[in-house]
Every structure is written in C-alpha cells, then in structure tokens.
Structure 1
Amino acid sequence: MLGERIRTLRKQRKMTLEALAGERLTKGMLSQIENNKAKPSMESLEYIAERLGVEITELLGTISYVELRKVLEKAERIYEEFRIYFKHSEETIQQSNKLIALIEPYIPNLNESYESARLLEIYSRSLFCLNREEWKLYCDKAALIYDLLNLTANRADIAIFRGITFFLEHRYQEALQYYLEERKHIETTHIKIDPMTQVNMDYYTAAIYSALGDIKATSEAVEKALEYSKKEKLYYKTDDIYKLATVVSLLVKEEEKFHYYLKKLKQYGEFVEDKIFEELCDVLYAEYLLHVKEEYQEAMSIIDQYLTFDENNQKVTGDNWNMLQKGKVMYYVKEYKKALNILKTIYVPKHINHPVDLAIYYTKDTFIALCYKELHNINKALEHAKISYDCFLPLPDSIFKTLCIETYENMRLI
C-alpha cells in the first residue's frame, strides 16, 4: 500500500520522519500517511516524491509510460528474434524464461494501456512455451485491454493464437468453434475492422475449415478473402490464400479448381518476381502428377530440377518436400531400394501443425510400407503402414488418407 511504500523508500534513504516532512508537512501527518490512516493530497504526494527523489508513479505503485515503453521495447526485441509461438526447443525455452524474468516484476502494476496489453500478450506466449497453464489468464487479460482500446488487429491476433493452440492437439472442431465465437465477438464489439485484419480473419477461417475437410466452407472463405482483397486493392496474404486453395483442391481431387488456383499462384509469383513461388508451383504440380494423373516420368523431370546428385557418393540431396517426392516417384518407377533410402531421411518439420500440410508428410510411411512390401519384408511393411494409419486417423479425408487406409488394409490381409 501507499503508506508502506513511502516508509520503505524513506528508510532506504536513511531519512527520519522530520527530514522527510520538511517544511510543508508535520511529523504527525506523515506518520498517519505511512500507517495508511490518512490519504495525502496530490500536492502532498508530489512533495513527498520530490523529497524522496522518485517519480510519483513509484509511490502510487504504477509504472511511468517511459519506463513501460522501455520494458516493452526490450521485450519486443527478444520476442521478435525468436518469435515464440509453438516452438519448444531449448533456445526458445531459454528466451521464454528471459522474457518472463523481464516482464513479471511489472505484471501487478500494469494499467489499461497498449504497452500493458502487449506485455501481457508476450508474457502469456512465453508461459505457453513453457507449458504453464496460467498462460490463458494473461492472454485473456491482454484481449480485454485490446477490446477496451478497440485495437482490432491485436485482438484478432490473440483469437488466431488461441485457435491454433487447439490445432496442436488435433482438436480441430474445438478450434473452429472457438475461433468463430471470437470472430463474432470482434465483429460485433469493435467499431471498425481494418482491411488487413479482415483478410487475416477470412484466411484463418478458411484454414480451420480446411482442417476439418469442409471444402465448401473453405472455398467460400477463400473466395470471400480474395474478393475483399481485390476490392481493397490489398495483396496481404494473397499467396497464403492461393496456396491453401491449391493444396485443398489437390487433396480432394478437384482438378478444375486445382488448375485455376495453381495458375493464380503462378501469376502472383510473377507479379512479386519471387523465384520461391516458381518452385512451390512446380512442387504442387508434381504432387498432382504423382497422385492424380500418375505421370511419373514428367513428375520426376520437375522434381530433379530442385535436387542435387553427388556422383562420387551416389547420393541425392535437396529440400525435405522435394526429397519426399523423389522417394515416391522412385517407388512408382520400381526403384524400391533407392526409394527406401530417400524416404527414411524424410521428417515432419516441427513448425507444421495444419492437417493439410501434415497429410503430405504422413505419406512417407505409407510409401515406406509399399517399398517393403515389394521387397518382401512384410513385417516392416505392416509396421510402417500402421504408423501412417495412426497418423492419418484424426485427419480429414483426402487422396493421401485414402491411399494410406487402402495400403494398411491390404497389408493386414497378406
């Protein structure tokens, strides 16, 4: 309380009651203030703060804007460097602890400012990284302040973050329900939603629907986001939207939509002059050739553009996804041992949690099983078919899941 803070600061400075009271206060009045029996006026508080050599905010237990801003700037630098969202590596855990140590002393005295809300948000995400359940409490406090200040973009980011936490546990239906409720809250309580936030919310709505395999709802959300982007002449997340639409069309074998969105993704890549989009479009088209058209040689010619062959060691290297495709195409051209050697190197990237992306990587064990079957190692074939089957079980239907289930059921009959 106020009295205790004044007494503590006075004793730290080795001042008597008389010395602190000076000419404008009496010793008795100051004693009553220190014992919380009297409330000082603002003028008296300013006088006491001046005598103690502190800001009045320190006496009141609040934090000055300047101090709060400095803490936030330091926290942002640490947070931006490591972007603590869903990673749980040693490095991000270390940085989470650093952020918690920085922010925690200020938590009890935070106010209803943007700086306070942002610190609460970063603090919450750091706690999440350490698997501490109380992260939700501080996340909700930040959301409440963003609501009060009508900071729509920040509020939407929290809704998206909370929704994605369900993804990590494959609780996709709960993710959808939570996110739609949050979106409704934002749309009904915030005065105006800026264009970037609107597109962001439409994109994540599509992403969650696609996780559930609801293609109609996904398409509607995608079209809504694209139509709004055109209207506002805004290209934010256009690449992500086209990528999602292209992959979803591939997974459900809607060839017309696949070609349409792939063309749009290519055009976007040409517009921004980014070579990454050229490779992405090639990789997606190679998946189409492998799993829909069954044109393996053409797929191989595309894949090999992005791989390196070491003649001395007879080893192929390249991007994880491209290597996965290479392993699959080697199976289809009956090079089973080579396919196995490649497929065994494939891993599911730690940052991936969306079922659409997971479905692509989970095919690894299906193809390992198929290779072992052709090499007459039935035990190993059944083992990997079961691994793939268990991974695909919570995911929505797709051409990859169908292949996985058919493979597993066939293996069990052998």
Structure 2
Amino acid sequence: MKDMTLGQKIREIRLHLQMTQKELAGDFITRNMLSQIENDQATPSMKTMEYLAKQLGKSVGYFMDENHKDLSLSNIIVELMALNEAKDYVASVKLIEQQSIHNPIVMRSKMMMDLYMNSYMYLGNQYMTEGDNEKAKAAYEKILKYENELLLESDIYLYKVYAQLAEVCGYLLDIELAKTYHKKSKDLVNKILASREVQTMYLKLIEADYDGIIEDSSKVDVIDYDNYSLARYNRVLGSAFLNKGEYEKAIVYLEKAIEIYSDETCYTIVSMIYEELSKCYFELGDYKKAYDFLQKAQSKKIAH
C-alpha cells in the first residue's frame, strides 16, 4: 500500500473488512464526505482521520504519505499527537517550527496544519492561565500566519483567535490593538450570521416560499453584510419578487446583485441573473432590454 494515496488506503482496508461506506462513516461524517475522501477529492481533518483509523483498526501513522521517507511525515504527526495528548505544547510547537524550517513541504499536510493551529491555540490558552500574556499573544499571533486560509475554511476558529487576541491585548493594556482584534471578531460574527440568514432565505427559494423570503428580508440588517452575503441577499430577494410577478421590484434587487458580483468568478450566477432580468423586462413589455439581457446571459455561458 506504500504507493497508494490516503483515500485509496482507506478504501482498500474498508473493502478488506467488508464494510460499507455507510458503516464506516457512522454518525461521525456523511457517506458523501467519506466518498470524497476515498476518491482524494477531500482531505480529512485530524479528528476525522483519528476516527477513521480507529474504525479500521489502524494507527493514524499507517495512513500517512511515506513516499518521502526523509521527511518521516507519519512519524512527525504521531509524535505531535503524543505531545498534544501529554499537553506538552511547548515541545509540540518547537517540533513544528523545526519541521517548517527544515522540511517546509510537511506543512502542506492538512493534518500538520491542524496540529500547528491547535498546538498554538492550546499553548496560548496555557500561557493566559499562567498569566504570561506576552507569550500568549505571541502564540495566538502565530496562528494568523494562516489567516487567509482560515477565512475560507474555518471562520469560527478564526473568530476564537481574534477574540483571544482582543482579550490578551486588553490585559497588556494595548488598547488600540485590542480594539482592532475586537472589531475583526465582531465583523467575522456578522459575516457568519449574515451567511446563515441568507442561506435560510435561499432554502426558502428552493421551497418556493416567496412570501417567507420577503418577510425575512424585513427582519435582517444588511448594513453589516459582507459583499458576498449582500449579493446573495439581493439575488434571492429579486428572484422571489420575480416569481410573485412583481417585476419592477425584482429588477431593483437583481440589478443590485449584478453590481456586487464579480463577472470573472461568478459567471454562472451572473448568467442566471441576466436571464431573470430578461424575464422581468419581457413581462413588462420592454422587449429590447429583455433581448439585451438574454444576449448577455448567452455570451456569458459561451465565454466560459
């Protein structure tokens, strides 16, 4: 199995044990997620890998990529897990820093990233408990090395980092920096809440609950929405008015959505909004605009 990928190893052992994907996934992950992992379309988190290894009767190290023996990635991860289990976070981050300098390729591993962040988080918490706020601040700030990745993958975890930094900077009487991190944590919470609100509206769109969408829109405060959530909000609300036959209102929100969306990265959504605008203008009898937006929708599809 040495030359197999992580996903192939998991699938091979599962089949050998005559387990179905549903049996292996259990209640811990979805069967769809397990399928993605086995097909190397998704990388399991450390907790997921620990669960799968236990279910398959193997150690986590057994599944690690050992194509580069000189890096000994599996040994490093096993050692780091042992250090975290023993709550020796100082030794854990020391080992991580050594590897990131001498073997930077190991940091491409999702498990190493998880261990890196968790080790510094626990170390920061430990220092705060001991009252060593300077060291706590330094530990938390180490996590921000991967701030952009966390924004995309784990905004709730990043919120915890910001909140801890705001608190520790307050203890250090660095008021301006405390305010900065407090604002970042507050902005992130608003983004998370906005995303959930819009997602609820989107689900109602799928269920054709257009009145529910319009009612929800009157209860939310879009001032704190990030651009992505604001674009989705306007698009969903515009679609609701379109389906209710209130075409002029639909146009207002759909055109707002178009202004926010990036044509380069959201071309499919933009094409759909153009089609909806075309329907609105057609129903209002403005056939020239209806044709223009239909052409825009078609050109967007052809271009991509």
Bin for the TM-score computed over the shorter chain: 0.3 to 0.5
TM-score normalized by the length of structure 1: 0.28
The alignment's TM-score, normalised by the length of structure 2, stands at: 0.36
